[in-house]
Structure formats: C-alpha cells, structure tokens
Amino acid sequence: MILGSGGGGEGALTLDELNIGLLVGSSVLIVAIIAVRLASRTSLPSLLLYLGLGVLLGQDVIGIEFSDDVLTRTLGYAALVIILAEGGITTNWANMRPAVPVAALLATVGVGVSVLITGAAAHYLLDLNWQVSFLLAAIVSSTDAAAVFSVLRLLTVRHKLVGVLEAESGFNDAPVVILTVALSTTDAFGAGDLPHLVGLLVYELSVGLVVGLAAGFLGAAGLRRLALPSSGLYPIAVLALAVLAYSGASMIHASGFLAVYIAAVILGNSRLPHRPATRGFVEGLAWLAQIGLFVLLGLLVSPDELGSDVLPAIAVGFVLLFVARPAAVFASTVWFRWPWREQAFLSWAGLRGAVPIVVATIPVVEGVPDNERLFNIVFVLAVIYTLLQGPTLPLAARRLGVVAEAEPVDLDLEAAPLERLGAQVLQMRVPPESKMHGVEVFELRLPQGASVSLIVRGGNSLVPGGTTRIQRGDELLVVTPTAIRRATEERLRAVSEHGRLAGWVDRNRS
C-alpha cells in the first residue's frame, strides 16, 4: 500500500505522525469544547481559554515548537473567512437593517477616529515613530464578533444594539486589514501616498461590497431553483458561495472579508431550504475555526518575552478603551441622537479578541521594524482587556438598562421542498417566549390549504386535532402549498408574537 511506507519522499507525513496528530488534535478539541461550558458560566470569552491552551502546548511549557508567522497568517485568514461567513449566515437581517447606517459609520469613521487617537497616544507613550504608532492603532481598532457574542449570547440585549455590534464586527475587519497591509508595505506618510491610501480603501470596500451582493443574490436565486438530492448539500453549497465571494473579491484585489460577510448575510436571510441545518453546519465549522485559530496563536507567542510589553499594552489599551472607543462611538451615533446609555454600552462592548492578533501577524511577515514588539503588545492588550470587559459586560448591560427581558424572538423555520406535490414542509419550534403557547390549532387560522400535520412534544409525536393546544417547546410540522408558503410563515410569526388575536386577512379567498 502507498500509505504504508515513506515512498512519498523525504518529509512526507507517515501514518504514525498522522495518528499522533489526530490524537493531539482530537484531545485539544475535547478540552476546548469542555472549556466552552466553563466560559458560559463565568461570562469569560472562550477565546481566552483557547489561547491559554495554545500557550500551554507551546515550547515554553509542554514543548511543542511553532514559529511559522506566514502559516499563521494564512490559516488565520482562512479561519476569519469561516467565522465571518458564520456571523453573516446567523445574522437576523430584521434586527440588523436599522443598524446598518450606524454600523457602517463605526466601521469607517469610527475606525478612523480610533486610529488617530490611539496612534497619537502610542507615539507619545511608547516613543514609536508615527507610522509604527498608527500601524499599532489600526491593528487594535477592529472589534471581534466571536469575542463579543460569546458573552452577549448569555443575556438578551436590545435588538438595536445587537444589530449594531453584529454589523460593526462584520464590516470593520475589511478597512482594518486594508490599513494594516498599506501601513506595513508602504510609507503612508510619504508625499502623495495618503491620497493613494484613501483611494485604495474606497476601491477595495466598494468592489468588495459589489462582489458580496452579486454572490449573495445570484447564489440565493440559484439555490431556490435547484432541488438538490440531499439536504446535507444545502449547507455545503451556502458556505461554498460565501467562500467564493471572498476568493473572487481577493483575486481582483478587493476586500474579500467584506464580500464574504455581505454574501453570507444575504444567503442567511433568503429563506433557503434547510436553514436550521445550514446554521448548525456553519456554527460547528466556526467553532472549529475559532478553536484552531486561537490555539495556533497561543502556540506562536512566547510568554517569556511578554513581560516588558505588559505596561505598554495596558497604557495603549487604556486610551483605546476609555478615550478612543467612546469617541468613535460618539462620532458615529451623534447623528442619530442615541441615548448616552446605549453609547456607553457600545463603547464597553468593543471586545478585541483574535482578529487584532491575526492582523498583527501582517507586519511580522512584512518585516516591519519593531514587529515582534507590536505582536506582543497586541497579544497582551487583547488578553488583559478581554479579561476586564468580558465578565463585566452582562453587569454593564443591566446597569445601563439596555437588557430587553421579553422581546419577541425569531422563529426557527426550516423548509423542505416536496417537488412532486408542489408543497413544502415547514418545521417550527415554539420558543419559550412565544405567545403561541396555549393557542389551539384551529385558532392559528392558517391560509387555506396549509395545515399542522404533526406535533412533536417531549420526544413523542401526535397528530393534532383542531382543539389541540400548542405548548412551549413543541415542534410543529406544517404542510403548505409552495404558492402560500410565505403567507403561512407570516401567519405563524404573527401568532407567535401577538397570540391568537393577531390580525389576519385571508389572501387566498376571493
């Protein structure tokens, strides 16, 4: 057998090495999954536990040697693509849509304000030259969705704020990466280079937006018309379209990160078949990407070299958290007359996480002066201030009065096409907050031709009658003709939000 020997040439992976690698990798994954449970109880972002696991495995503790900056940057980009795709697919457009103007300003004007203030502070506090100072500022000016929502999922914050934080964290990776690459490879303060940098930002963001819109809308239209032979192919197709948006934009030197997020938002909100299965698939891949990325970053850092950079990181982080971030939020929300309490929460919720650490590998690869010091400062800053902000974020939300105790939640609906019958099956879970609890089946008043065919309750299935009462946690299977699927979904959502008295106009009767 070919796999049995070293016939693949010098340096080829042997079966023994493969087995050891799988053993170590699976063990790390199991420990990381257990760490998620610990993080959920302490409001501590799980990324810190993964980073710690990587440091523990590294050469200063257990002894695994790893120092490949180029590989880290490459794998980091790949992981960020998956994480951004998951963030877009699981984003609720109804919550995000009102927040897009504010989020877009935070990702552009806000990033600019943050870079200017933090860069000036780094120049005077750390005695760095202006270009390296602004490079450091650009690196730490991006918020991280994975870090923010590992904490936010533990409490219910107003939908408006959740939408802004989701959209901001999806949008701001693109301008930050563009700035970092430009500052790492050119003299952005040379004559004529600043207009070039602005033009580059405009080109990459605008073209990335167009590519993301095209991939999202064309991909969604194609999947709605294509009946795949297996439900498991739909999640793969959706993720492939999102990755296609990234690679397509990157090939023409546009922002792939913006393209993949925009395409994923469109695909995730296009009412495609098997939406819950798609969400579960991309969430699992995103967890895998986060675990692998953070462990890899932990392996890359050398703890014995961080001591001298702790105080500089605390100083820059203090300016970033208490001056630059509030100023960026104010500059982005003042036009919309947001209350100061919501501005304060947005300021405190700007967790940095892994994105700045990944971006910090760019100047290392490009050989920028003081690149190792930059990386260490970013690493220490991300860890210390995530430790400060993460556990206190739920308390801040309650103290600032931005917790929404009983806002309507989105229903989890899955559609499976029944091509030959011209019908579809909607699978719906009744959430705990739903006002559908206690409603009898006949009171749903579904459009003519649609009906509740099965209820799964407590692991048991029952065929409902007209007077069967729906309960929290029920799984409903609703059969509906394709032509009235949207009307059926709208009726189910109306009853879930308003109860049996929700207004209804039967569009299917003349």
Options 3.40.50.740, 1.20.1530.20, 3.40.50.920, 2.40.440.10; CATH for 39-399 is 1.20.1530.20
Contacts of residue 25, defined as CB under 8 A and 6 or more positions apart, other chains included, come to none
Residues of the chain by 3-state class (helix, strand, coil), percent to 5: 65, 5, 25
Number of alpha carbons in the 13 Å side-chain half-sphere of residue 260: 27
For 340-379, b where at least 16 C-beta lie within 10 A, e where not — what string?
eebbbbbbbbbbbbbbbbbbbbbbbeeebebbebbbbbbb
Chain Cα centroid distance, residue 374: 25
Options 3.40.50.300, 3.40.190.10, 3.30.70.1450, 3.40.630.20; CATH for 412-498 is 3.30.70.1450
Backbone φ and ψ for 367, nearest 5 degrees, come out as 70, 35
Residue boundaries of the structural domains of the chain: 39-399, 412-498
Give bridge partners of residue 373 from the DSSP assignment. none
Give bridge partners of residue 457 from the DSSP assignment. 460
Number of Cβ atoms within 10 Å of the Cβ of 161? 23
What tens-digit pLDDT sequence spans the chain (510 residues)?
A: 343 444 455 556 788 777 877 887 788 788 777 776 666 665 566 667 777 777 777 766 776 777 778 888 888 888 889 988 888 888 878 778 888 899 889 988 888 899 999 999 999 998 888 888 899 999 988 887 666 666 666 667 777 888 888 888 888 888 888 888 888 876 555 544 667 777 888 888 899 999 999 999 999 888 888 777 777 788 899 999 999 999 999 999 888 889 999 999 999 888 787 777 888 888 888 888 888 888 888 777 777 777 788 899 999 999 999 999 999 999 999 888 888 998 999 888 887 777 888 888 888 888 888 788 888 888 889 888 888 887 788 788 888 888 765 444 455 555 555 555 567 788 888 888 888 888 888 888 888 888 888 898 887 888 888 888 898 888 898 888 888 888 888 888 888 888 887 764 444 333
| 1: exposed, middle or buried (Cβ count in 10 Å: 0-12, 13-18, 19+) | exposed
